[in-house]
Structure 1
Amino acid sequence: MFKDISIKEFDPVLAEAMAAESVRQENHIELIASENYCSQAVMEAQGTDLTNKYAEGYPGKRYYGGCEHVDVVEQLAIDRAKVQFGAEYVNV
């Protein structure tokens, strides 16, 4: 329905405000930890179709169908966190 329209086409005023915020963040040092900006990779990950999916439960044990791809991503996060923190169990 909206896949072929960009935010700039859909709402130019909003797109302009978003672009201005990006410029502001690039040109200023933010000293508030909770307002630290994230990397382009994180921004891309948060803007995927995964955002549209509600996945209650755990990988392989969901309450709703259609979570097979979310399960892959969540299991990847679990496995990587176990290695990173040397943990036997991880909940993400």
Structure 2
Amino acid sequence: MFDRAQSTIANVDPEIFAAIEQENRRQEDHIELIASENYTSPAVMAAQGSQLTNKYAEGYPGKRYYGGCEYVDVVEQLAIDRVKQLFGAEAANVQPNSGSQA
């Protein structure tokens, strides 16, 4: 589908890549006291930039409105199980309240 080695931002759009790199340096060199601008870990950014963002997964794990969500279900169920364990809860909902929060 895509040549992943050649489909990096640096290769496809060097100007955008440069701006992203400059923003990254700005965030690394300054302390940000605005909660919504908290520095995100590389692991979280990798997950948010993964193929999972290509999938519309309305509903809940195992009960989706559209097919092809089996791997999204795995990730969401892991998140649910981890939140339940962390808080000692019987149930948890890890879905955002709206698309703007997603």
TM-superposition CA deviations, 1:24-73 (whole Å, max 9, x none): 01100001111111111111111111111110000000000000000000
The partner residue of 1:29 within 25, 28, 31 is: 31
Q: CA deviation at 1:3?
A: 4.1
Count of residues in correspondence between the two structures: 92
Higher helix share: 1
Identity across aligned pairs (percent)?
70
TM-score, structure 1 normalization: 0.94
Q: Which residue of 2 is the match for residue 59 of structure 1? A: 61
TM-score, structure 2 normalization: 0.85
Gaps of 5+ in 2: 95-102
Q: CA deviation at 1:13?
A: 0.7
Alignment partner of 2:20: what SS?
helix
Q: In 2, distance between residues paired with 1:91 and 1:37?
A: 24
Q: Which residue of 2 is the match for residue 88 of structure 1? A: 90
